Structure 1
């Protein structure tokens, strides 16, 4: 038995391969760096869903159908009453998704891909006392998310940056939320149930809740000159440096470099806070140096959360919404895994080892 199922193989998949020793992520046979360079969100969704649905999935057709579906699911925003608006954004988004019917067909898939992209921006605006912005079916998924969030058309660089993020986090092996999605799918409960289970796993701070605290750490560091001292004191207190280290990767997380590259056009065109970027670079360099010094036997490098925080902050997402944005991108991976499990797997039913007291004889 391995506590936490460490290294236990629970499924075969054609969707993604995570090589923690080499620092490589492959999605459906395409390395992450090439995928981010060439693919949009719709391209990646079509790639992941290929052969898993009741009909072919083509990127251009998916873009058109997703646009229409975003307009359709927008009607559910009216159910966001005051009690729901007081919830954390990811909880409110999950509550609205729970209104959607369960199923396994293409329409259900479209609805589940469109729903978080519509519900999260709407809830964020409602929480600020602003009117939700209706979707624009003619826009791409990334462009429409930003338009609904900020009530204006985004720049080309902003759309490309969000596309890069959604592509980068679309799938990542059998992580906790993806495993939850597959467990539910193995019972044939339906895709909506699988996505809801995955979101519930994602919102836990040990899985999807770390990007926001990266910005909290940068705020606490304050200046480039204070980076080394602050980080040293944090380690003295036994604190974790947010955005560094990963359960799987023993080298640099390849997703960190993908998102760092996605930030460059925003930096070059002045669409990001340059002071924040310089501070982040100083913290990154200082953290890597001090981690090598203090923990030479533990390979701790930059993970996806560090540059996720910087990119989503540049796109004007509030830090409390970062987990919800992650869910927008990862939903397609959850659906693909759920369909793969339903088509090829069995009911997931592991055993446990009883370590409690035995009954006593009378």
Structure 2
């Protein structure tokens, strides 16, 4: 029996997350991910995934300081970023920059190196924008938590709590999500006993693929089409009849409401700055779900996290070219946690492929 894409195949055990696609539940290390996103910081949830417990006061202070310690961009990395072709996208830049990081522990993946790789991403993005002449490279700040610092470096906007709360919710909810394509890439690389930076490079390369990390950008295109349409229902129906995929609807795992989308929707409802795009997103969601049920009955296609992620980032004035980079900036925590888990009880991945080509007559 061949399982294309390894769909439904269980190949490892994990303590990091559990996805209940039938009930629409997501658990991080024994905690409801939605509750974590509403009541805890990015640093706290990162600590949970890396260590298996939420931090106490002194542990939280320690990890917050560690994040700040590793924010500076070394000169050699600035030179790399400056000399990369201008045509390369931001995921290409992240992939190449992360691969160049000198780790403190190249043999064994550590939390210290995981923090370093996570903490440096905002500066990589900001310096790339600077090198392209898009934005001035901001001053590295030590007074902000990680998500506020990310927002500041990516946009140049002084972060306000009402803005960064929505972004922090998104970045916590996308921090970890089981054995998805990029996480699997990271674990496969780690299983060969390669180093943490190489595993993160594999994961970023996989994240670049439009079937995995590119969905929020597609949602913006859908919202833009809706904003210029006199009849959203007809627009959606025409797209579906042409065989186009409605980006932001449906999920390979969730067969009911995506709990991450519901949490982001709730956060947007609390954000007065999100009125225009949020109202459009709500209207489009209702019409699209009705149309999907008419044309694809019984498929249970609902909005996924990318749908409301796009609305959040549009409301926060984060450029659409940075959507997948923002996804990467959060998911690197889950990737690195998986790498450490893989190496703690390692077996190299080596599945089989069934040969279907010609065989010599003398064989």
> Quick check: 2:122–2:154 contact (8 Å CA) kept in 1?
no
Deviation at 1:121, TM superposition (A): 2.9
Deviation at 1:222, TM superposition (A): 2.2
- Shift >6 Å, 4+ stretches: none
CA RMSD of aligned residues (A): 1.9
Matches of residues 80-229 of structure 1 in structure 2 within 5 Å? 80-81=81-82, 83-102=84-103, 103=106, 104-223=109-228, 225-229=230-234
Q: Tell me the equivalent position of 1:327.
A: 328
CA distance in 1, matches of 2:52, 2:321: 36
Q: Tell me the equivalent position of 1:70.
A: 71
Tell which deviates more after alignment, 305-314 or 149-158. 149-158
> Does 2:342 correspond to 1:337?
no
Helix, strand or coil at the partner of 1:58: helix
CA distance in 1, matches of 2:126, 2:257: 32
> Quick check: 1:66–1:137 contact (8 Å CA) kept in 2?
no
Deviations 1:63-121 (A, max 9, x none): 11111101255872343225444311111121211211242234322221112222123
CA distance in 2, matches of 1:287, 1:159: 29
Q: Tell me the equivalent position of 2:351.
A: 350
Helix, strand or coil at the partner of 1:217: helix
TM-score by length of 1: 0.93
Helix, strand or coil at the partner of 1:18: strand
How many residue pairs end up in the alignment?
354
CA distance in 1, matches of 2:37, 2:236: 32
Helix, strand or coil at the partner of 2:239: helix
CA distance in 1, matches of 2:39, 2:74: 29
Deviation at 1:259, TM superposition (A): 1.3
> Quick check: 2:256–2:302 contact (8 Å CA) kept in 1?
yes
Question: What stretches of structure 2 of length at least 5 have no aligned partner?
Answer: none
Deviations 1:246-297 (A, max 9, x none): 1111111111011112223322xxx33x222221111101001111111112
CA distance in 1, matches of 2:135, 2:76: 17
CA distance in 2, matches of 1:71, 1:325: 19
> Quick check: 1:133–1:149 contact (8 Å CA) kept in 2?
no
> Quick check: 1:223–1:279 contact (8 Å CA) kept in 2?
no
> Quick check: 2:72–2:120 contact (8 Å CA) kept in 1?
no
